[in-house]
A and B are shown apart, each in its own frame.
Chain A
Amino acid sequence: MLRLKLALLNVLRNGRRSFITLLAIQFGVISLILMGGFFASMYEGMREGVIRSQLGHIQIYQEGFNQFGSQQPEEYLIDGEVLQKITKLVEELEQVELVTPRLNFTGLLTDGSRSLAVVVEGINPEKEALLSSAVKLTAGEDLFEEDTEGALIGDGLFKSLNLSVGASLTLMATTADGSFDARDVTVIGAISTGTREVDNRFMRMNLQHAQELMYTEGVTRLVVLLKDTKHTEEVMALLSETFKKQGLALELRSWSDLADYYHEVVNLFDGIFSIVQIIVLAIVLLGIVNTMVMAVMERTQEIGTIRAIGGTRGEVIGLFISEAFILGLIGSVLGVIFAIFLAQGITAAGIMMPTPPGSSQTYPIRIFTEADLLWKNGLYGLLIAVISSIYPAVKASRMLITQALRFA
């Protein structure tokens, strides 16, 4: 108890130095929380963006589609009867918000003078409007079921073909039986998925219209939107088991399986974050080591006295580590509190970030302050303070007692 009190009193002994040390710890903790919180918000924005613009949480395909579907997509369509059965089974799960079919194929879009290869998605407009909430309408109006010949054109494609709302185009594609067919489509709007590459060659049209063009009643996939992303793995397991029991030869892919770009970006930013973390912690560590070495120098005679009256080396080490622990604890707690306030302030300010590479939309800075992020970085602050004190503490404990006692 007395030894802990001594450590606390030593922290208060040189107020200015302790204040500077606390500032260093807080700087580290705040920096890491703000950066981590910003990255977490960015990850979430990207994740929900890809889920709610393209992927949904889970996609259901005919078995073999992911291996062979790119060569023979018509062979791996889910037919109408199975489609009804799957939809019913999926909708029974309480975690599911909605399930919607999509028919995907490639085609050639022409305005008579120019032709461009496009990726076409036949959709159920009402359901897709709920699922694709991250898809932004940049021109015209949204697609509805009654717009039988209507099409939404990717923003990049819309601009590159110099299209206007109401323009009439022809879409050509290879049908399910291998022949070639074409349908007229009317541009009713332009959309942005948030990913420039997609927006440059993407279009959406009514599922029925797409099926007529493809001579099929089947769909490529069923896209499942869940009430919460955290249920993904659980629902995947449930569906997998249910389909197996029902004898349905289907494949499931989660958004995570499909979002390669998301994972690449997360890995890249995690790497950057780790480097920044190391730099910040190293700066904090050097700052604390410096102040602790000064404390050791100033208290050399006191250390000699403690050793002379029976204090072991461990006692001296323990004393300095206790002081660092107290500083680390106070600095980390204050750092976490200030970081929460700063994060809330920055988020509330609504500062817009420039458009990220590969994206077509700007976004406001949001900084998450999840409990996990707070306690982990608070702990880093505490640990770095303790680690910083080890060298000065060991140095202090190894002083020759006779020399330390002579030190004035």
Chain B
Amino acid sequence: MAVVKLQGVSRSFPLGNKPIIALDKLDLTLEKGEFVVLKGVSGSGKSTLLNLIGAIDDPSEGEVFIHGQRLSSLSDKQKSQLRSQYIGFIFQAFNLIPVLTALENVQYPLSLQKVANGEAKDRATEALTQVGLADFINRRPNQLSGGQMQRVAIARALVTKPDIILADEPTANLDSETSKQLMDLLGSLNRKTGVTFLFATHHDFVLSRASRILELKDGHIIKDERLKNLNLVDQIPPGEKVG
């Protein structure tokens, strides 16, 4: 089942008189449960692609479909609701809200969905337990290490049970050991929950965890390699939310 579908998507940015083409007529489909690594040098269009799939940017041409919904037909509010329901984000700089505790940071996306406080707390605790931070739920971001902060960010992305999690260089600010642990965690979560992961990364060790590798160059996909079958995805009935 296609979680994400791009049809002839281009994205260009004005720079003086000449537009810079970040993505050029891209066609792409991401299936449920895939663990996709997006590689490419800086400026190849990785972040632009993540932004378009994440419904936080609009293509100059073409159509993006998330969960079967054409993004160009949605209002800003509807896009926000779509992001809230179907998309999780993991950022390079963690982007946690500094005044909230780990638990509250994870709870926050649920409060945006108007989930009752008690239920949100339970689900956030469960998500933090999944990422191994059960003992750190009352700590603020400044009381956590980089790896722990990124785990909180992962829990925040997971807690709403999205269709896809988009991660833009999630290990860039972490040491190699922590990065590997994090990737193991994400791989395990991918297998357990069946959520689709799309990673933009420079790190080669990430490639070994991937079920699919996409390589971008000058706004084009120059490589699309499927590495293994995903038995888990086959077990999930079509249309059912994972998590």
A residues whose Cβ falls under 8 Å from a Cβ of B: 1-3, 5-6, 9-10, 12-13, 301-302, 304-315, 400-402, 405, 408
Contact = CB atoms under 8 A, between A and B. Distances in A.
Interface in B94-136: 95, 97-100, 104, 107-109, 111-113, 117, 120
Interface of B: 51, 54, 56-57, 76-77, 80-81, 83-85, 88-89, 91, 93, 95, 97-100, 104, 107-109, 111-113, 117, 120, 156-157, 160
A307 B159 CA distance: 16
A308 B56 contact: yes
A310 B76 CA distance: 11
Nearest to B83: A310
19 contacts: A1-B111, A1-B117, A2-B104, A2-B111, A12-B99, A301-B93, A305-B95, A305-B97, A307-B56, A308-B54, A309-B109, A309-B112, A310-B83, A310-B85, A310-B112, A311-B84, A313-B76, A402-B56, A408-B93
B173 to A, nearest CB: 12
A2 B99 contact: no
B196 to A, nearest CB: 17
A402 B47 CA distance: 10
A220 to B, nearest CB: 74
Contacts of A13: 98-99
A309 B99 contact: no
A313 B76 CA distance: 8
A9 B100 CA distance: 8
Contact of B84 (A305, A309, A400): A309
A379 B91 CA distance: 42
A236 B43 CA distance: 86
A310 B77 contact: no
Contact of B112 (A12, A315, A401): A315
Nearest to A312: B80
Secondary structure at the A interface, as helix, strand, loop or mixed, is: helix
A302 B85 CA distance: 20
Which of A9, A310, A313, A405 lies at the interface centre, i.e. has the most chain B CB atoms within 10 A of its CB?
A310
Contacts of A400: 57
B241 to A, nearest CB: 15
Contacts of B98: 13, 302
Contact of B91 (A5, A12, A307, A405): A405
A3 B88 CA distance: 20
A313 B156 CA distance: 20
B83 A308 contact: yes
- Give the top 7 A-B pairs by smallest Cβ distance, nearest first: A310-B84, A9-B99, A401-B56, A305-B95, A312-B80, A2-B111, A310-B83
Secondary structure at the B interface, as helix, strand, loop or mixed, is: helix
A18 to B, nearest CB: 13
B120 A2 contact: yes
A309 B162 CA distance: 11
A401 B57 contact: yes
A5 B84 CA distance: 20
B160 A2 contact: no
Given A309-B108, A402-B56, A6 B100 contact: yes
Contacts of B57: 400-402
A305 B157 CA distance: 11
Nearest to A408: B93
Given A5-B104, A10-B99, A309 B111 contact: no
A311 B84 CA distance: 7
Contact of A310 (B51, B80, B97): B80
A306 B111 CA distance: 11
Contacts of A308: 54, 56, 83, 89
Given A302-B97, A307-B80, A314-B77, A3 B111 contact: yes
Which of B80, B89, B100 lies at the interface centre, i.e. has the most chain A CB atoms within 10 A of its CB?
B80
Nearest to A301: B95
B121 to A, nearest CB: 9
Contacts of A401: 56-57
A95 B104 CA distance: 63
Contacts of B108: 2, 6, 306, 309
A398 to B, nearest CB: 10
Given A9-B100, A401-B57, A305 B111 contact: no
Nearest to A2: B111
A310 B113 contact: yes
Contacts of B113: 310
Contact of A2 (B88, B91, B107): B107
Contact of A402 (B51, B77, B83, B157): B51
